[in-house]
A and B are shown apart, each in its own frame.
Chain A
């Protein structure tokens, strides 16, 4: 999996209530969810995000509620990859399950700044900050999780018999 995009950066403990406030959870329409993504901490996000952009954040990204609407809203807003120092565990598994690419890399998440152009090669575990020229290594996913990702999420993995 390879990605290239412009970085939109946030801090530590970005919770699912700010990723998609609960007041909008009376719908499962992905476009409508995306139209409110991040609005409680960043009213400019939905207007400036472009298809393929990369989100970079600090510790414990996606903490709080189990709402899958959070990674759904991020994915539907056009974000191709989230890089963070660490992820809250439910957000992490939800992202894997729905096929939103995420990667944990504290060094990259610390150094990469808003507006930088980043190239990610997750198969080989390399993140390249094209703005500064710095590159970072990421750990590969365990085989079981790789299977889910390669099959396009958990539902597809079960449908194809890859997870029984």
Chain B
């Protein structure tokens, strides 16, 4: 029986000729990732094993991004625990304030993930790297600890849903709208335990950052991983960022999929997910009149350069509405620097936005933009659960950078066409 892209990568990393859905396998890991929230629990568990070194000091990676720069004494203590551990174990890829960025934007940029890799990360959005044709998935801290110790993790081989993309996106419509549309269609558990595999002629028209945004939110449909077929654009991106050689896996012609959806990109409209689930989607023409208090543009979902650039193109020469706080967070130092060099920061500041150093901060209600009771935010992040960005009665509306920027200008949820 034919295998999906995901199954082929897993088989190769388990030393097997073939695998089938449902099979439990032990898989060799190319990278093990953690952040300042999940790594401390992993370190505590790792220490119980009584092992004095990690399986491969070049493959273990820690990024201080969630509550860093340290938001309080407890957060500082957690970062210090990670810093001390990485120093003691001589971990090569430890990213602290100054070098760090939001982990899932940082790893592709640093060339730490290439096509064909298997990556686990103690962060649910680790599924992002599927955009580069890798198998990557979120796990917990104990899996991270065991991954750091033995370089392996157990998996149940997933079945898959195929998304065949065709056509091209309209202006101001981006990968975020596509993935919100898909989650709205299949639900927050629509891909539970399964792979979401993206193929078809429409893939070529999507930028790498559009693809990263889409695979990033595979977890919001419950998926184990999201993965794009590798094309010339993927290989060019990897060649630009990494010295490692990608391994390209294509799904077999006779691979079996649970379901196949054909998505015409030209039909996708700007889409917003209403509280309190990412599946509560509405197209921009159906949002009604929703006044807002805050806008956040950033995160591992939409803090890429193209996202920041698109937001700037909308803010240019305009002002943030009175009583709206607009927070822009480029996801990495390189993105921040490029935005500065290209004059984007000036556009934001003149419009009345603030620009923050990279951090996950407000996305998970950590710091840098917490909501008060009853407040509403339009955010380019990935979750709008109860209390996600602050008070349990506050509300988060998920949208693209274009919609978020337009909404900041009008003070209510708005499509970019309203201000351009």
Contacts and interface: CB of A to CB of B under 8 A. Distances in A.
A4 interface: no
A66 B222 contact: no
B124 A97 contact: no
A88 B49 contact: no
A68 interface: yes
Contact of B365 (A21, A69, A97): A21
B352 interface: no
B41 interface: yes
A66 B192 contact: no
Contacts of A64: 124, 219, 383, 385
Given A89-B192, A89-B222, A159-B48, A40 B78 contact: no
A95 to B, nearest CB: 9
B258 to A, nearest CB: 15
Contacts of B30: none
A55 to B, nearest CB: 18
A159 B48 CA distance: 8
Interface residues of B, number: 51
Contact of B37 (A25, A63, A94): A25
Contact of B222 (A22, A63, A65, A142): A63
Contact of B71 (A26, A27, A154, A155): A26
Interface string B138-165: 1111110110011000100000000000
A17 B385 CA distance: 7
B366 A23 contact: yes
A86 B143 contact: no
A119 interface: no
A17 B386 contact: yes
Contact of A27 (B74, B124, B142): B74
Given A26-B78, A89-B222, A164-B150, A18 B386 contact: yes
B43 to A, nearest CB: 9
Contacts of A68: 38, 41, 122, 140-142
Interface in A1-59: 13, 15, 17-18, 21-23, 25-28, 40-41, 59
B38 A67 contact: yes
A132 B87 CA distance: 58
B366 A98 contact: no
B192 A86 contact: yes
A21 B404 CA distance: 25
B192 A144 contact: no
Interface string B260-278: 0000000000000000010
Interface of B: 24, 26, 37-38, 40-41, 44-45, 48-50, 66-67, 71-72, 74-75, 78, 121-124, 126, 138-143, 145-146, 149-150, 154, 188-189, 192-193, 219, 222, 224, 277, 364-366, 383, 385-388, 392
Interface of A: 13, 15, 17-18, 21-23, 25-28, 40-41, 59-60, 63-69, 71-72, 86, 88-90, 93-94, 97-98, 142, 144-145, 153-155, 158-159, 163-164
28 contacts: A13-B188, A13-B189, A15-B383, A15-B386, A22-B366, A22-B388, A25-B67, A28-B40, A28-B41, A28-B78, A60-B222, A66-B122, A66-B126, A66-B140, A67-B38, A94-B142, A97-B142, A98-B140, A144-B24, A144-B154, A154-B146, A155-B45, A155-B48, A155-B142, A155-B145, A158-B149, A158-B150, A164-B150
